[in-house]
Amino acid sequence: MTGEWANDRTVLRVSGNDAAKFLQDLVTNDLKPRSGDLVNAALLTPQGKYLFDFFLLADGDAFLLDVKSDRAAALAQRLTMYRLRADVKIDDSDLKVNRGLNPSPQGAYADPRHPALGWRSYGTDQGSAPQIDWTAIRVAHCIPETGIELIPDASYILESGFERLNGVDFKKGCYVGQEVTARMKHKTELRKGLVTVQVEGVAPVGTTIDANGKDAGVLYSQSGGQGIAYLRFDRATGEMHAEKAKLSL
């Protein structure tokens, strides 16, 4: 199979008679109309804060969960906590994640977040060594990454662009953290969030952004003179600084 091996991803398998309802009641996106498609979704805390993001794919009566490897064990543990008496099994799989840019090969699935992210596929073939500069693509399109811009127990998915990235459904009904997420959507105007900024120079990921002597946010991934920043919009005016780097919108 063409493409490159995503060696930082793990595929879990959720099976059992109650698997579909179990996941539908937990995750931010709607699984019902998406059979045959890759679904971008997250699992939140009851307080609406981000915990995990992943891709889901129907696999017969089961579901595959494509998640960052260093979050896979914690995700399996959290799902097990919610399982209670449901007929659900959560197992590791031997599947590997291949990904590449369009055109996509047969049997691949479009990355639901953005067309620039190409495709993903699942199998035992590990593909070639990574060669694509995914960070450059993410920065250009303001696409957050697990553990960088997406911070467990801290990030909110709407501030992180999940609506734009097809990661949340506002009509599906209840899921963990739904009340807070819906309130942020319908009752408030977002005052903070991720945006792409112009960067002159470089700064470590996680550097505080200063604007007119005030804390205006945090600078994260950077590539090609741009960066992804989490900004407080009312302070993000004029020239900003992240250590020695100059930033502008």
Q: Which two tokens stand for residue 247?
A: 């930033």
Q: Which two tokens stand for residue 98?
A: 């291949």
Tell me the pLDDT tens digit for each residue of 15-30: 999 999 999 999 999 9
CA dihedral 89→48→176→80, nearest 10 degrees, is 20
**What is the Cα 214 distance to its own chain's centre?**
29
Delimit the domains of the chain by residue range: 4-141, 191-248
pTM score over 0.85: yes
Instruction: Give me the pLDDT at residue 32, please.
Output: 85
CB 249 within 8 A of CB 195: yes
Residue 178's identity, in one-letter code, is: Q
Q: Which of 161, 240, 143, 160 minimizes the C-alpha distance to 200? A: 240
Q: How far apart are the first and last CA of the chain?
A: 41
What contacts 24+ positions apart, CB below 8 Å, involve 213-222?
A: 216/240, 217/192, 219/245, 219/247, 220/144, 220/148, 220/149, 220/194, 221/135, 221/138, 221/139, 221/145, 221/148, 221/149, 222/139
Instruction: Give me the pLDDT at residue 63, please.
Output: 97
- For all residues of the chain together, what is the average pLDDT? 95
Tell me the pLDDT tens digit for each residue of 104-163: 999 999 999 999 999 999 998 877 888 999 999 999 999 999 999 999 999 999 999 999
Class in CATH terms, 4-141: alpha beta
Tell me the pLDDT tens digit for each residue of 177-227: 999 999 999 987 899 999 999 999 999 999 999 999 999 999 999 999 999
